[in-house]
Amino acid sequence: MQSTPVAITGVGQTPFKIHHAEKTYVELAQDAAKLALDHAGLEPGEIDAVVFSMAPTQFMGVNDADRWAVEHVWGENKPFMRIHTGGATGGSALQAAYYHVASGLYRNVLVVGADRVAETPDAQHILNLIWDRFYEHDFALNTVTMAAMVGQRYMHRYGVTQEQCARVVVRSRRHAKQNPYAHLKGDITVDDVLNSPIISWPLRRFDICPRSSGAAALVVSDLSTARRSSTKPAFINGVSSIAHTVFMGDRMGYRAEADLSDHDAFNRAAQECYRQAGVIDPAKHIQIAEIYDPFSFFQFPQLESLGFCGRGEAARISDQGGFEPGGLVSVNLSGGTLCTNPIGVTGLVRVADAALQVMGCAGANQQPDVHNAVATSIGGSEQFLTCALLGDDHLGRN
Amino acid sequence: MNQQQANNQDQSIPGEWHVRYNYSVGKVAGHFFEQLKHGKIFASYCSTSNMAYLPPRAYCERSFSPCDGWVEAGNEGVIEAATIVTAAFENLPPPPYAIAYVRLDGVSTAMINFVRDLDLTDVPKAAERLKPGTRVKVRFAHEREGRTTDFHYVLA
Protein backbone atom coordinates (compact mmCIF):
# COMPACT_ATOMS: atom_id res chain seq x y z
CA MET A 1 0.00 0.00 0.00
CA GLN A 2 1.30 3.42 -0.94
CA SER A 3 1.63 5.80 2.01
CA THR A 4 0.05 9.25 1.92
CA PRO A 5 2.52 11.94 0.84
CA VAL A 6 3.31 14.37 3.66
CA ALA A 7 5.72 17.27 3.25
CA ILE A 8 7.36 20.08 5.14
CA THR A 9 6.29 23.26 3.34
CA GLY A 10 7.57 25.92 5.71
CA VAL A 11 10.52 26.35 8.07
CA GLY A 12 11.07 29.10 10.63
CA GLN A 13 13.90 29.66 13.10
CA THR A 14 14.95 32.57 15.27
CA PRO A 15 18.64 33.16 15.93
CA PHE A 16 19.83 31.09 18.89
CA LYS A 17 21.85 32.69 21.68
CA ILE A 18 22.26 32.58 25.44
CA HIS A 19 19.44 35.06 26.19
CA HIS A 20 16.68 36.74 24.22
CA ALA A 21 16.20 39.61 26.65
CA GLU A 22 14.15 41.59 24.14
CA LYS A 23 11.31 39.04 24.02
CA THR A 24 9.27 36.79 26.29
CA TYR A 25 9.17 33.04 25.79
CA VAL A 26 5.86 33.11 23.93
CA GLU A 27 6.91 36.01 21.73
CA LEU A 28 9.89 33.91 20.64
CA ALA A 29 7.66 30.95 19.75
CA GLN A 30 5.40 33.35 17.86
CA ASP A 31 8.32 34.65 15.80
CA ALA A 32 9.20 31.14 14.62
CA ALA A 33 5.54 30.33 13.88
CA LYS A 34 5.17 33.49 11.77
CA LEU A 35 8.40 32.76 9.88
CA ALA A 36 7.28 29.18 9.09
CA LEU A 37 3.81 30.31 7.97
CA ASP A 38 5.31 33.00 5.73
CA HIS A 39 7.76 30.47 4.28
CA ALA A 40 4.87 28.12 3.49
CA GLY A 41 2.75 31.00 2.16
CA LEU A 42 -0.08 30.12 4.56
CA GLU A 43 -2.31 32.19 6.82
CA PRO A 44 -2.94 31.12 10.42
CA GLY A 45 -6.53 30.22 9.42
CA GLU A 46 -5.20 27.56 7.06
CA ILE A 47 -3.52 25.70 9.94
CA ASP A 48 -5.77 22.86 11.14
CA ALA A 49 -3.86 21.79 14.28
CA VAL A 50 -0.83 22.75 16.35
CA VAL A 51 1.81 20.45 17.86
CA PHE A 52 3.79 22.26 20.55
CA SER A 53 7.39 21.14 21.01
CA MET A 54 8.32 21.72 24.65
CA ALA A 55 10.62 19.70 26.94
CA PRO A 56 10.95 20.42 30.72
CA THR A 57 9.49 23.86 31.38
CA GLN A 58 11.59 24.30 34.53
CA PHE A 59 14.37 25.82 32.38
CA MET A 60 12.25 28.82 31.43
CA GLY A 61 10.36 28.72 34.72
CA VAL A 62 6.66 28.74 33.84
CA ASN A 63 5.07 25.40 34.59
CA ASP A 64 3.63 23.77 31.45
CA ALA A 65 4.28 26.88 29.37
CA ASP A 66 2.43 25.39 26.39
CA ARG A 67 -0.76 26.83 27.96
CA TRP A 68 0.73 30.30 27.82
CA ALA A 69 1.70 29.85 24.17
CA VAL A 70 -1.66 28.77 22.70
CA GLU A 71 -2.94 32.03 21.24
CA HIS A 72 0.56 33.31 20.46
CA VAL A 73 1.07 30.49 17.97
CA TRP A 74 -2.46 30.79 16.58
CA GLY A 75 -3.65 27.63 18.32
CA GLU A 76 -7.00 28.98 19.53
CA ASN A 77 -10.05 26.95 18.46
CA LYS A 78 -7.81 24.21 17.07
CA PRO A 79 -6.58 20.83 18.28
CA PHE A 80 -3.41 21.61 20.27
CA MET A 81 -1.07 19.09 21.86
CA ARG A 82 2.25 19.39 23.61
CA ILE A 83 4.91 16.75 22.98
CA HIS A 84 7.69 16.08 25.49
CA THR A 85 10.37 13.42 25.14
CA GLY A 86 13.27 15.45 26.57
CA GLY A 87 15.97 16.22 24.03
CA ALA A 88 14.02 14.18 21.46
CA THR A 89 10.97 16.43 21.82
CA GLY A 90 11.35 18.11 18.43
CA GLY A 91 11.80 14.77 16.65
CA SER A 92 8.72 13.37 18.39
CA ALA A 93 6.74 16.54 17.63
CA LEU A 94 7.52 16.11 13.93
CA GLN A 95 6.36 12.50 14.18
CA ALA A 96 3.07 13.60 15.76
CA ALA A 97 2.50 16.21 13.03
CA TYR A 98 3.34 13.63 10.37
CA TYR A 99 0.68 11.25 11.72
CA HIS A 100 -1.87 14.08 11.88
CA VAL A 101 -1.46 14.74 8.17
CA ALA A 102 -0.81 11.15 7.05
CA SER A 103 -4.12 10.16 8.65
CA GLY A 104 -5.88 12.36 6.12
CA LEU A 105 -7.71 14.22 8.90
CA TYR A 106 -5.61 17.41 8.73
CA ARG A 107 -4.18 19.28 5.75
CA ASN A 108 -1.73 21.61 7.48
CA VAL A 109 -0.22 21.23 10.93
CA LEU A 110 2.06 23.75 12.61
CA VAL A 111 4.84 22.31 14.76
CA VAL A 112 6.33 25.03 16.93
CA GLY A 113 8.21 25.51 20.15
CA ALA A 114 10.77 27.60 21.98
CA ASP A 115 13.21 27.17 24.82
CA ARG A 116 15.25 29.37 27.11
CA VAL A 117 17.66 26.99 28.79
CA ALA A 118 19.77 29.76 30.36
CA GLU A 119 16.86 31.47 32.12
CA THR A 120 17.96 29.57 35.26
CA PRO A 121 21.49 28.91 36.57
CA ASP A 122 20.15 25.54 37.80
CA ALA A 123 19.74 23.81 34.42
CA GLN A 124 21.93 20.83 35.32
CA HIS A 125 20.15 20.54 38.67
CA ILE A 126 16.85 20.28 36.79
CA LEU A 127 18.38 17.63 34.55
CA ASN A 128 19.62 15.71 37.61
CA LEU A 129 15.97 15.46 38.69
CA ILE A 130 15.05 13.36 35.64
CA TRP A 131 16.84 10.32 37.11
CA ASP A 132 15.20 7.65 39.24
CA ARG A 133 14.70 9.10 42.72
CA PHE A 134 15.40 5.92 44.69
CA TYR A 135 18.49 4.41 43.11
CA GLU A 136 20.24 6.93 40.87
CA HIS A 137 19.38 10.46 41.87
CA ASP A 138 22.09 10.76 44.56
CA PHE A 139 25.03 10.13 42.23
CA ALA A 140 25.42 13.44 40.44
CA LEU A 141 23.90 12.31 37.17
CA ASN A 142 23.08 15.05 34.73
CA THR A 143 23.30 15.22 30.96
CA VAL A 144 27.02 16.06 31.07
CA THR A 145 28.12 13.38 33.54
CA MET A 146 25.85 10.83 31.86
CA ALA A 147 27.30 11.60 28.43
CA ALA A 148 30.83 11.51 29.85
CA MET A 149 30.35 7.91 30.97
CA VAL A 150 28.84 6.89 27.64
CA GLY A 151 31.73 8.62 25.87
CA GLN A 152 34.33 6.95 28.06
CA ARG A 153 32.79 3.57 27.24
CA TYR A 154 32.53 4.27 23.49
CA MET A 155 36.07 5.66 23.21
CA HIS A 156 37.46 2.72 25.19
CA ARG A 157 35.65 0.13 23.05
CA TYR A 158 36.88 1.53 19.74
CA GLY A 159 40.12 3.28 20.65
CA VAL A 160 38.74 6.71 19.73
CA THR A 161 40.88 9.61 20.94
CA GLN A 162 39.99 13.00 22.38
CA GLU A 163 41.76 14.55 19.42
CA GLN A 164 39.40 12.78 17.02
CA CYS A 165 36.44 14.14 18.97
CA ALA A 166 38.00 17.61 19.02
CA ARG A 167 38.13 17.62 15.21
CA VAL A 168 34.33 17.30 15.18
CA VAL A 169 34.04 20.42 17.34
CA VAL A 170 36.39 22.39 15.09
CA ARG A 171 34.44 21.32 12.00
CA SER A 172 31.06 22.08 13.58
CA ARG A 173 32.04 25.59 14.69
CA ARG A 174 33.42 26.27 11.22
CA HIS A 175 30.20 25.07 9.53
CA ALA A 176 28.15 27.16 11.96
CA LYS A 177 29.80 30.32 10.62
CA GLN A 178 27.57 29.93 7.54
CA ASN A 179 24.41 29.40 9.61
CA PRO A 180 22.87 32.74 10.64
CA TYR A 181 20.86 31.02 13.42
CA ALA A 182 23.70 29.08 15.12
CA HIS A 183 24.67 29.97 18.68
CA LEU A 184 28.42 29.12 18.83
CA LYS A 185 30.47 29.62 15.69
CA GLY A 186 33.96 30.56 14.57
CA ASP A 187 37.43 29.27 13.85
CA ILE A 188 38.97 27.27 16.68
CA THR A 189 41.75 24.71 16.68
CA VAL A 190 42.02 21.14 17.95
CA ASP A 191 44.40 22.47 20.61
CA ASP A 192 41.77 24.99 21.73
CA VAL A 193 39.42 22.08 22.40
CA LEU A 194 42.08 19.91 24.05
CA ASN A 195 43.25 22.81 26.24
CA SER A 196 39.75 23.77 27.39
CA PRO A 197 39.04 22.81 31.03
CA ILE A 198 37.95 19.27 31.85
CA ILE A 199 34.31 19.25 32.96
CA SER A 200 33.64 15.51 33.30
CA TRP A 201 36.33 13.25 31.90
CA PRO A 202 36.73 12.72 28.93
CA LEU A 203 34.57 15.77 28.14
CA ARG A 204 36.09 19.23 28.13
CA ARG A 205 34.23 22.52 27.91
CA PHE A 206 34.46 22.70 24.12
CA ASP A 207 33.23 19.11 23.76
CA ILE A 208 29.91 20.26 25.23
CA CYS A 209 27.02 22.17 23.64
CA PRO A 210 25.90 25.60 24.88
CA ARG A 211 22.63 26.39 26.69
CA SER A 212 20.63 28.12 23.97
CA SER A 213 17.49 30.21 23.74
CA GLY A 214 15.40 30.53 20.63
CA ALA A 215 12.48 29.09 18.71
CA ALA A 216 11.76 26.88 15.70
CA ALA A 217 8.69 25.93 13.68
CA LEU A 218 7.71 23.78 10.73
CA VAL A 219 4.58 23.58 8.64
CA VAL A 220 3.69 19.97 7.77
CA SER A 221 1.26 19.67 4.86
CA ASP A 222 -0.60 17.29 2.61
CA LEU A 223 0.16 16.88 -1.09
CA SER A 224 -2.38 19.44 -2.33
CA THR A 225 -0.80 22.18 -0.22
CA ALA A 226 2.70 21.04 -1.12
CA ARG A 227 1.82 21.26 -4.83
CA ARG A 228 0.61 24.84 -4.68
CA SER A 229 3.35 26.02 -2.32
CA SER A 230 5.82 28.50 -3.76
CA THR A 231 8.69 26.73 -2.00
CA LYS A 232 10.02 23.31 -2.94
CA PRO A 233 8.63 20.90 -0.34
CA ALA A 234 10.67 18.42 1.70
CA PHE A 235 8.72 15.16 1.74
CA ILE A 236 8.72 13.22 5.00
CA ASN A 237 9.49 9.75 3.69
CA GLY A 238 10.24 8.04 6.98
CA VAL A 239 9.65 8.66 10.68
CA SER A 240 10.55 6.32 13.51
CA SER A 241 11.33 6.33 17.20
CA ILE A 242 12.53 3.93 19.87
CA ALA A 243 12.22 4.19 23.64
CA HIS A 244 14.51 2.58 26.23
CA THR A 245 14.56 2.03 29.99
CA VAL A 246 15.70 4.94 32.17
CA PHE A 247 18.32 2.61 33.68
CA MET A 248 21.51 3.09 31.67
CA GLY A 249 23.10 0.19 33.58
CA ASP A 250 20.69 -2.18 31.79
CA ARG A 251 22.27 -1.17 28.51
CA MET A 252 25.89 -2.12 29.14
CA GLY A 253 27.60 -5.43 29.85
CA TYR A 254 27.30 -8.89 28.39
CA ARG A 255 23.64 -9.45 29.30
CA ALA A 256 22.53 -6.18 27.70
CA GLU A 257 20.33 -6.41 24.61
CA ALA A 258 21.56 -3.02 23.42
CA ASP A 259 24.76 -1.14 24.12
CA LEU A 260 24.17 2.41 25.20
CA SER A 261 27.57 3.56 23.98
CA ASP A 262 26.78 2.45 20.42
CA HIS A 263 23.52 4.45 20.40
CA ASP A 264 22.43 1.20 18.88
CA ALA A 265 18.69 1.81 19.11
CA PHE A 266 19.34 4.05 16.13
CA ASN A 267 20.13 0.91 14.21
CA ARG A 268 16.53 -0.24 14.58
CA ALA A 269 15.07 3.26 14.25
CA ALA A 270 17.02 3.92 11.06
CA GLN A 271 16.14 0.56 9.54
CA GLU A 272 12.47 1.34 10.10
CA CYS A 273 12.87 4.81 8.62
CA TYR A 274 14.73 3.53 5.58
CA ARG A 275 12.22 0.70 5.09
CA GLN A 276 9.37 3.20 4.92
CA ALA A 277 11.22 5.12 2.22
CA GLY A 278 12.67 2.11 0.38
CA VAL A 279 16.24 3.24 1.02
CA ILE A 280 18.65 0.31 1.15
CA ASP A 281 22.10 1.92 1.14
CA PRO A 282 22.06 5.15 3.18
CA ALA A 283 25.55 6.23 2.09
CA LYS A 284 24.46 6.00 -1.54
CA HIS A 285 21.07 7.70 -1.23
CA ILE A 286 21.44 10.21 1.63
CA GLN A 287 23.49 13.36 1.07
CA ILE A 288 22.79 15.25 4.30
CA ALA A 289 22.76 14.12 7.95
CA GLU A 290 21.65 16.38 10.78
CA ILE A 291 22.81 14.42 13.83
CA TYR A 292 21.78 15.16 17.42
CA ASP A 293 25.24 15.75 18.89
CA PRO A 294 25.28 17.81 22.11
CA PHE A 295 28.65 16.18 22.87
CA SER A 296 31.61 15.81 20.54
CA PHE A 297 31.70 11.99 20.31
CA PHE A 298 27.94 11.64 19.63
CA GLN A 299 28.28 11.79 15.84
CA PHE A 300 30.40 8.64 15.71
CA PRO A 301 28.10 6.00 17.25
CA GLN A 302 25.07 7.53 15.52
CA LEU A 303 26.57 7.59 12.03
CA GLU A 304 27.58 3.96 12.60
CA SER A 305 24.11 2.97 13.80
CA LEU A 306 22.51 4.85 10.92
CA GLY A 307 24.42 2.56 8.58
CA PHE A 308 26.85 5.02 7.02
CA CYS A 309 29.81 2.91 8.17
CA GLY A 310 30.71 -0.05 10.38
CA ARG A 311 31.12 -0.04 14.18
CA GLY A 312 34.16 1.88 15.33
CA GLU A 313 34.87 3.29 11.85
CA ALA A 314 33.29 6.75 12.09
CA ALA A 315 36.18 8.52 13.84
CA ARG A 316 38.67 7.44 11.17
CA ILE A 317 36.29 8.48 8.37
CA SER A 318 35.78 11.80 10.16
CA ASP A 319 39.57 12.34 10.28
CA GLN A 320 39.72 11.74 6.52
CA GLY A 321 37.02 14.32 5.77
CA GLY A 322 34.35 11.73 5.00
CA PHE A 323 31.64 13.72 6.77
CA GLU A 324 32.33 16.92 4.88
CA PRO A 325 30.76 17.93 1.53
CA GLY A 326 32.11 15.63 -1.15
CA GLY A 327 32.62 12.81 1.36
CA LEU A 328 30.45 9.86 2.40
CA VAL A 329 27.70 12.13 3.73
CA SER A 330 27.68 15.81 4.75
CA VAL A 331 27.15 15.91 8.50
CA ASN A 332 25.80 18.86 10.49
CA LEU A 333 26.56 21.62 8.02
CA SER A 334 24.40 23.75 10.34
CA GLY A 335 26.96 23.32 13.13
CA GLY A 336 24.67 20.81 14.78
CA THR A 337 23.71 20.52 18.42
CA LEU A 338 27.34 21.11 19.48
CA CYS A 339 26.83 24.74 18.43
CA THR A 340 23.15 25.22 19.30
CA ASN A 341 21.06 23.41 21.93
CA PRO A 342 17.65 24.92 22.77
CA ILE A 343 16.55 21.60 24.33
CA GLY A 344 12.79 21.69 23.67
CA VAL A 345 13.26 22.50 19.98
CA THR A 346 16.69 20.97 19.25
CA GLY A 347 15.14 17.97 17.50
CA LEU A 348 13.01 20.37 15.48
CA VAL A 349 16.10 22.36 14.48
CA ARG A 350 17.75 19.15 13.25
CA VAL A 351 14.71 18.47 11.03
CA ALA A 352 14.52 22.15 10.00
CA ASP A 353 18.16 22.25 8.90
CA ALA A 354 17.76 18.95 7.01
CA ALA A 355 14.57 20.26 5.38
CA LEU A 356 16.23 23.54 4.31
CA GLN A 357 18.88 21.54 2.42
CA VAL A 358 16.23 19.48 0.62
CA MET A 359 14.18 22.61 -0.14
CA GLY A 360 17.25 24.42 -1.50
CA CYS A 361 16.89 27.13 1.16
CA ALA A 362 20.04 26.51 3.24
CA GLY A 363 21.75 29.74 2.20
CA ALA A 364 25.54 29.76 2.28
CA ASN A 365 25.57 26.13 3.50
CA GLN A 366 23.38 24.88 0.64
CA GLN A 367 24.77 21.77 -1.08
CA PRO A 368 24.03 20.88 -4.71
CA ASP A 369 21.92 17.83 -5.60
CA VAL A 370 20.43 17.11 -2.19
CA HIS A 371 17.78 14.43 -2.65
CA ASN A 372 17.58 12.86 0.81
CA ALA A 373 18.46 14.03 4.31
CA VAL A 374 18.28 12.26 7.66
CA ALA A 375 17.72 13.96 11.04
CA THR A 376 17.99 12.44 14.53
CA SER A 377 17.24 13.38 18.12
CA ILE A 378 17.84 11.84 21.56
CA GLY A 379 16.10 12.49 24.87
CA GLY A 380 16.34 11.46 28.51
CA SER A 381 19.15 9.14 29.57
CA GLU A 382 19.61 8.30 25.88
CA GLN A 383 16.14 6.85 26.14
CA PHE A 384 14.07 8.41 23.40
CA LEU A 385 15.57 8.23 19.93
CA THR A 386 13.92 9.57 16.80
CA CYS A 387 14.87 9.39 13.15
CA ALA A 388 13.32 11.21 10.18
CA LEU A 389 14.12 10.85 6.51
CA LEU A 390 13.29 13.77 4.23
CA GLY A 391 13.41 13.78 0.44
CA ASP A 392 12.81 15.96 -2.60
CA ASP A 393 10.35 13.37 -3.88
CA HIS A 394 7.79 11.13 -2.23
CA LEU A 395 9.33 7.71 -1.59
CA GLY A 396 6.48 5.94 0.21
CA ARG A 397 6.61 2.18 0.40
CA ASN A 398 4.17 1.09 3.05
CA MET B 1 7.76 51.81 21.98
CA ASN B 2 8.78 54.98 23.84
CA GLN B 3 12.26 55.67 25.21
CA GLN B 4 11.36 54.54 28.74
CA GLN B 5 10.11 51.18 27.46
CA ALA B 6 13.16 50.78 25.25
CA ASN B 7 15.43 51.31 28.24
CA ASN B 8 13.53 48.69 30.23
CA GLN B 9 13.67 45.95 27.60
CA ASP B 10 16.57 44.14 29.26
CA GLN B 11 14.83 44.01 32.65
CA SER B 12 14.33 40.65 34.28
CA ILE B 13 12.22 39.57 37.23
CA PRO B 14 13.71 37.11 39.75
CA GLY B 15 11.87 33.93 40.71
CA GLU B 16 12.33 30.67 42.62
CA TRP B 17 10.39 27.43 42.99
CA HIS B 18 10.13 25.64 46.33
CA VAL B 19 8.44 22.26 46.04
CA ARG B 20 8.54 19.51 48.66
CA TYR B 21 7.85 15.80 48.21
CA ASN B 22 7.66 12.54 50.13
CA TYR B 23 8.28 9.68 47.74
CA SER B 24 6.54 6.38 48.55
CA VAL B 25 9.13 3.64 48.32
CA GLY B 26 7.02 0.52 47.78
CA LYS B 27 7.76 -3.13 48.57
CA VAL B 28 10.61 -3.86 46.18
CA ALA B 29 12.72 -0.81 46.96
CA GLY B 30 11.74 -1.17 50.61
CA HIS B 31 13.24 -4.67 50.78
CA PHE B 32 16.39 -3.51 48.97
CA PHE B 33 16.85 -0.57 51.36
CA GLU B 34 16.22 -2.76 54.43
CA GLN B 35 18.99 -5.15 53.30
CA LEU B 36 21.35 -2.21 52.76
CA LYS B 37 20.96 -1.43 56.46
CA HIS B 38 22.39 -4.92 57.11
CA GLY B 39 25.30 -4.26 54.73
CA LYS B 40 23.92 -6.48 51.97
CA ILE B 41 23.01 -5.69 48.34
CA PHE B 42 20.17 -7.82 46.97
CA ALA B 43 19.22 -7.95 43.30
CA SER B 44 15.73 -8.92 42.17
CA TYR B 45 15.81 -12.16 40.19
CA CYS B 46 13.63 -13.62 37.43
CA SER B 47 13.87 -17.43 37.14
CA THR B 48 12.37 -17.34 33.61
CA SER B 49 14.97 -15.06 32.04
CA ASN B 50 17.76 -15.79 34.57
CA MET B 51 18.24 -12.02 34.90
CA ALA B 52 19.34 -10.52 38.23
CA TYR B 53 18.51 -6.80 38.34
CA LEU B 54 20.19 -3.90 40.05
CA PRO B 55 18.51 -1.56 40.67
CA PRO B 56 15.90 -4.15 41.70
CA ARG B 57 12.49 -4.12 40.06
CA ALA B 58 9.19 -5.84 40.49
CA TYR B 59 8.79 -7.13 36.97
CA CYS B 60 11.15 -8.64 34.41
CA GLU B 61 10.36 -6.83 31.22
CA ARG B 62 12.26 -9.37 29.13
CA SER B 63 10.33 -12.45 30.20
CA PHE B 64 7.10 -10.52 30.82
CA SER B 65 6.80 -12.14 34.24
CA PRO B 66 7.25 -10.90 37.80
CA CYS B 67 10.68 -11.14 39.41
CA ASP B 68 10.21 -14.13 41.70
CA GLY B 69 13.28 -14.04 43.92
CA TRP B 70 16.23 -12.16 45.33
CA VAL B 71 19.94 -12.96 44.93
CA GLU B 72 22.71 -11.40 46.97
CA ALA B 73 25.14 -9.47 44.79
CA GLY B 74 28.84 -10.18 45.00
CA ASN B 75 31.06 -7.87 47.00
CA GLU B 76 33.07 -7.14 43.86
CA GLY B 77 32.28 -6.20 40.31
CA VAL B 78 33.48 -4.66 37.09
CA ILE B 79 33.32 -1.07 35.82
CA GLU B 80 31.20 -0.73 32.68
CA ALA B 81 31.46 3.07 32.41
CA ALA B 82 32.93 5.83 34.58
CA THR B 83 33.73 9.53 34.72
CA ILE B 84 35.62 11.96 36.93
CA VAL B 85 33.67 15.18 37.45
CA THR B 86 35.86 18.26 37.83
CA ALA B 87 33.32 21.06 37.38
CA ALA B 88 30.95 22.37 40.05
CA PHE B 89 27.27 21.96 39.19
CA GLU B 90 24.53 23.71 41.19
CA ASN B 91 23.11 21.40 43.89
CA LEU B 92 25.57 18.61 43.07
CA PRO B 93 28.57 17.57 45.19
CA PRO B 94 31.71 19.76 45.21
CA PRO B 95 34.23 18.42 42.65
CA PRO B 96 36.28 16.42 42.06
CA TYR B 97 34.52 13.08 42.38
CA ALA B 98 34.31 9.85 40.40
CA ILE B 99 31.14 7.94 39.52
CA ALA B 100 30.82 4.60 37.78
CA TYR B 101 28.31 2.07 36.53
CA VAL B 102 29.47 -1.23 38.04
CA ARG B 103 28.12 -4.71 37.30
CA LEU B 104 28.49 -6.62 40.55
CA ASP B 105 29.34 -10.31 40.38
CA GLY B 106 26.23 -12.42 39.88
CA VAL B 107 24.17 -9.48 38.64
CA SER B 108 23.10 -8.91 35.02
CA THR B 109 22.94 -5.11 35.04
CA ALA B 110 25.15 -2.26 36.23
CA MET B 111 24.37 0.15 39.07
CA ILE B 112 25.80 3.59 39.59
CA ASN B 113 27.64 4.83 42.69
CA PHE B 114 30.63 6.94 43.67
CA VAL B 115 34.15 5.51 43.39
CA ARG B 116 36.08 6.76 46.42
CA ASP B 117 39.61 6.54 47.84
CA LEU B 118 41.13 7.36 44.45
CA ASP B 119 43.62 10.20 44.04
CA LEU B 120 41.93 12.54 41.55
CA THR B 121 44.64 15.22 41.48
CA ASP B 122 45.79 14.18 38.01
CA VAL B 123 42.51 13.53 36.20
CA PRO B 124 43.79 11.80 33.03
CA LYS B 125 45.99 9.55 35.19
CA ALA B 126 43.13 8.72 37.55
CA ALA B 127 40.85 8.07 34.56
CA GLU B 128 43.31 5.38 33.39
CA ARG B 129 42.44 3.49 36.57
CA LEU B 130 38.67 3.64 35.89
CA LYS B 131 38.56 2.07 32.44
CA PRO B 132 35.72 -0.34 31.58
CA GLY B 133 36.77 -3.78 32.74
CA THR B 134 38.42 -2.56 35.96
CA ARG B 135 37.59 -4.60 39.08
CA VAL B 136 36.13 -2.72 42.05
CA LYS B 137 34.71 -3.74 45.41
CA VAL B 138 31.82 -2.53 47.52
CA ARG B 139 32.51 -0.66 50.75
CA PHE B 140 29.67 0.01 53.20
CA ALA B 141 29.46 2.98 55.55
CA HIS B 142 29.54 2.18 59.29
CA GLU B 143 26.38 4.20 59.88
CA ARG B 144 23.69 3.01 57.47
CA GLU B 145 20.25 4.49 56.88
CA GLY B 146 18.81 2.27 54.18
CA ARG B 147 19.73 4.41 51.20
CA THR B 148 21.87 3.79 48.10
CA THR B 149 24.37 6.20 49.62
CA ASP B 150 25.07 3.56 52.35
CA PHE B 151 27.76 2.10 50.09
CA HIS B 152 30.25 3.12 47.42
CA TYR B 153 32.87 1.49 45.24
CA VAL B 154 36.65 1.39 45.68
CA LEU B 155 39.28 -0.13 43.40
CA ALA B 156 39.70 -3.85 44.14
The string of pLDDT tens digits covering residues A137-150 is 999 999 999 999 99
CB contacts, 8 Å: B113 with chain A: 139
Residues of A in contact with B103 (CB under 8 A): 249, 252-253
Query: Which residues in chain B touch residue A61, judged by CB atoms under 8 angstroms apart?
Result: 15, 17
Residue B9 lies in a domain: no
CB contact under 8 A, A201 and B114: no
Closest CA to A32 of A126, A112, A119, A106: A112
On whether the CB atoms of residues A340 and A212 are closer than 8 A, the answer is yes
CB contact under 8 A, A153 and B81: yes
Say which of B92, B103, B114 has its CB closest to residue A128: B92
Give the nearest chain B residue to A198 (CA atoms).
B86
Label residue A212 by pLDDT band (50, 70, 90). Answer: very high
- Residue B3 placed within a domain: no
Q: Is residue B8 part of a domain?
A: no
Which of B91, B99, B131 faces A139 most closely, judged by CB atoms?
A: B99
Mean pLDDT confidence for A207-233: 95
A6-121+210-391: CATH superfamily: Thiolase/Chalcone synthase (3.40.47.10)
Three-point CA angle A281, A285, A290, nearest 5°: 105
Average pLDDT, chain A: 96
The DSSP symbol for B49 reads T
- ipTM of the assembly? 0.95
Rounded CA separation B127/B142 (Å)? 28
Q: Where are the domains of chain A?
A: 6-121+210-391
Interface touch B92/A125, C-beta < 8 Å: yes
- Threshold 0.90, pTM exceeds: yes
User: Quick check: is B16 in a domain?
Assistant: no
Q: Compute how many other C-beta atoms are within 10 angstroms of the C-beta atom of residue B139.
A: 13
Instruction: Check residue A225 and give its pLDDT.
Output: 94
Taking contacts as CB-CB distances below 8 angstroms, the residues of chain B near A140 are: 85, 89, 92-93, 97, 99
Q: Which range of residues forms the domain containing residue B119?
A: 21-155
Q: Is residue B41 domain-resident?
A: yes
pLDDT tens profile B97-146: 999 999 999 999 999 999 999 999 999 999 999 999 999 999 999 999 99
CB A386 within 8 A of CB A88: yes
Nearest chain A CA: its distance from B87 CA (Å): 5
Domain count within chain B: 1
CATH number at residue B142: 2.40.50.840
Three-class SS of residue A6?
strand
Q: Is A145 on the interface with B (CB under 8 A)?
A: yes
